[in-house]
Chain A
Amino acid sequence: MSTPLLSVRDLHVSFKTEDGVVRAVDRLSFDLERGRTLGIVGESGSGKSVTNLTVLGLHNPMFTTVEGEILLDGQELTTAPEPELEKLRGNKVAMIFQDPLTALSPYYTVGRQIAEPYMKHNGASKKEAWERTVEMLGKVGIPNPGQRAKDYPHQFSGGMRQRAMIAMALICDPDLLIADEPTTALDVTVQAQILDLLKDLQQEFGSGIIFITHDLGVIADMADDIMVMYAGSAVERGTTEQVLRSPQHPYTWGLLNSMPRLDSDTGARLSPIPGTPPSLLNPPSGCRFHPRCAFQGRVAGAGRCTTERPPLATDRASACHLTADQKRTIFIEEIKPRLG
């Protein structure tokens, strides 16, 4: 196995706030291979966005403490000086944000914004960059790209703006593309267009993608591997097939059970996860999911869930004190029947 494109080891990120220290990311490790897509699923406040802002060095160093390693192609990013990071951003690492209207500047034409990173990183002339921009806009499916490149963002629809963002992200042929909820603000039919486009472009460019979302359906469609995050750490990981077909962590079960499906029994009630996500100012002791977990009573050794943090191994793993046998039987006998 070659060295992974991105390797995150024991990442801790905490913010100083007026109320205390928020431990947004805690003991997180993962790898991403070239050409593969890692889906990160989690609810708001689970640390999925913070992790990726830290990769790009977009956190505010005044209030943020970052510990651990982030290796991109063997280069350490947590301690890299700002000029080094600037060379990477938009070049080797690119990002697509959730809301394309706020991510694009309203004062410049779409074409100029897309051309800018290409000129900066490749030293291309204005004319070359413009040609490349028009080519990219055509690739992402904007009709009449030569004309539309001269338009301002407000003249684009939501779906087209997101296509423009993708063109901007891919113009320098990045090795790593981070997509932070790229389709959450879009309608379902447009979302389907954008997901198809991202998949097709990945085939062409061979980038590694980190795809952040809260929608398990979108993840099932996009990702090769999945990492489920809860309260700042990963609770389960594996290939998409493993995590969605035979999930092992009570939180993943809860997520799957709480979503109605197009083919589920309409008479049945939904089974939500009780309670609310914990505050990261003062996270629960032991397993962070234990206050909302229905299965802690079945763990051998009373009180283990409240005192001992379950570890998460690499590869296929889930951070839970239940034994592998228990996880398998509970899923097959109790969770799967409810999924219809």
Chain B
Amino acid sequence: MKEDLVLPAQRAQGPGTDGERLLEVTGLTKHFPVKGGFPIRRTIGQVQAVDGIDLTVHTGESFGLVGESGCGKSTTGRLITRLMEPTAGTVAYRGRDISHASRKQLAPIRSEIQMIFQDPYSSLNPRQTVGTIISGPMEINGINPQGGREKRVRELLEIVGLNPEHYNRFPHEFSGGQRQRIGVARALALEPKLIVADEPVSALDVSIQAQVVNLLQQVQNDLGIAFLFIAHDLAIVRHFSQRVAVMYLGKIIEVGDRDSIYTRPRHPYTHALLSAVPEVNLTDEDTGGRERIRLAGDVPSPISPPSGCRFRTRCWKAQDKCAAEEPPLVRISGNHEGHLTACHFPEEPTTEGREEDIVLDPALAALEEAASDEGQGQP
């Protein structure tokens, strides 16, 4: 069983995973000012979108970043591609700090870090032909490949599974999945070393999602490109990434190898997240064996996040220590190497069901009680 888990992972890792540290992010922070007040508008608060995260992406590796909306995963992606300037912390690409680099200094690096966006409808210019869109990056960077740009674009279209004859068509002539392929071709145009993919498949239909995921995986294996794969779909991240980080309210709360995170999670939030994924039970037993942890309430506001551990307001294990002291992201005893967890009172490393459901929502608990009192309730 264990070998079964390890072998495919190694096969999928592709070339050079243990190689160079391609991207190193330390203490990355982005605070957005909140303006308000009258008559003079001044900064009255800070949205702490990303607050001191560390991560490393190796050459040719796929690193997954999961979390719910508002946890700062997209902002992280934009900081790494330097579409935004960080408030603090460093982004080092191949050992060079690019966190505050000027436009000019960035120019040679821009071609090596590319981005794929979520919405294939708004990320392609409707007035440009596919050829212009894909050759755009080459034109901006003054790159003239052998045989001309048009030949290269046709090659790229073929790589992403589109007909090279569609060179002169416009985006509206393509379906959502095909448009996302155009986005992938554009990202590949400069032969990047790192692609930041921000929810690349979440706008697509289920049957099309798989096509694009397969394409990205093929591109990664064939060309050895490292990916920072940002998504909220835990199953897709698991399928695509060798290492995974879980974010909550601007912080990484758990990071580690895919198998370690998905089969031996330690942070209560990771447990809750995994248990909340609805899945089709295909086994022949009646109960799936997975119990569901129901989290109470909503994610707190990132303008004034809770003190100490940010998850403590929704956590069933929270104690006084959690409010007073922020848990460091460390390797807890029992964790595999490289599996770090930020929690004072970690869960057992298992995804097996516990004795009973953990119900944290008082309203739901009351409803269930009422239902069991009245039997079936009124028709």
Contacts and interface: CB of A to CB of B under 8 A. Distances in A.
B235 A200 contact: no
Interface stretch (B144-152, B327-335, B365-373): B365-373
A187 B232 contact: yes
B236 interface: yes
Given A200-B368, A265-B8, A258 B206 contact: yes
B14 to A, nearest CB: 12
Interface stretch (A85-93, A191-199, A304-312): A191-199
Scoring B11, B272, B367, B378 by chain A CB atoms within 10 A of each residue's CB, the highest score goes to B367
A71 interface: no
What band does the interface of chain A fall in when counting residues whose beta carbon is under 8 Å from B?
35 or more
A169 B299 CA distance: 25
Contacts of B370: 204
A17 interface: no
Given A262-B235, A264-B239, A192 B278 contact: yes
Interface in B264-316: 272-282, 284, 292, 294-295, 297-299
A262 B101 CA distance: 40
B210 A192 contact: no
A269 B213 CA distance: 9
Interface stretch (A72-80, A116-124, A215-223): A215-223
Interface string A52-87: 000000000000000000000000000000000000
Contacts of B26: none
Nearest to A202: B377
A257 to B, nearest CB: 8
A218 B233 CA distance: 13
B205 A277 contact: yes
B177 A262 contact: no
B211 interface: yes
Interface string A138-174: 1111110000000000000111100000000000000
Interface string B347-363: 00000000000000111
B278 A220 contact: yes
Contacts of A218: 278
A64 B276 CA distance: 40
Contacts of B207: 43, 254-255, 258, 272-273, 277
A125 interface: no
B278 A215 contact: yes
Contacts of B205: 43-44, 214, 277
B281 A244 contact: yes
A206 B378 contact: yes
B58 interface: no
Interface string B1-17: 00010011101100000
Contacts of B379: 34-35, 206
B278 A141 contact: no
Given A189-B68, A192-B294, A200 B238 contact: no
A260 B236 contact: yes
Contacts, number: 170
Contact of A214 (B206, B210, B273, B295): B206
A59 to B, nearest CB: 23
Contacts of B56: none
B277 A220 contact: no
A216 B207 CA distance: 12
B175 interface: yes
A213 to B, nearest CB: 10
Interface in A283-333: none
Given A203-B376, A262-B262, A276-B208, A269 B276 contact: no
A49 to B, nearest CB: 14
Given A245-B282, A270-B210, A272-B211, A260 B298 contact: no
Nearest to B368: A200
Interface string A236-274: 000000001100000000111111111011111111111
Contacts of A215: 206, 278
A174 B214 CA distance: 45
Interface in B67-113: 68-69
B232 A141 contact: no
Given A260-B236, A262-B262, A217 B9 contact: no
Contacts of A187: 68-69, 232
Nearest to A251: B207
B258 interface: yes
Interface string B193-235: 0000000000001111111011001000000000000001011
Contact of B295 (A157, A158, A189, A217): A189
A113 to B, nearest CB: 20
B364 interface: yes
Contacts of B295: 189, 192-193
Contacts of A201: 367
Given A189-B272, A260-B210, 13 more contacts: A44-B205, A157-B298, A188-B277, A190-B298, A192-B292, A206-B379, A217-B279, A220-B281, A260-B235, A266-B8, A266-B12, A266-B258, A267-B12
Name the 10 nearest CB pairs between A and B, nearest first: A267-B8, A141-B363, A272-B210, A217-B278, A258-B210, A187-B68, A260-B239, A273-B207, A270-B210, A192-B276
27 contacts: A43-B207, A44-B205, A157-B299, A160-B298, A192-B275, A192-B276, A192-B292, A192-B294, A193-B361, A196-B292, A196-B294, A200-B371, A205-B377, A205-B378, A214-B205, A217-B278, A221-B278, A244-B282, A258-B206, A259-B206, A259-B209, A260-B213, A262-B235, A264-B239, A267-B8, A274-B211, A339-B282
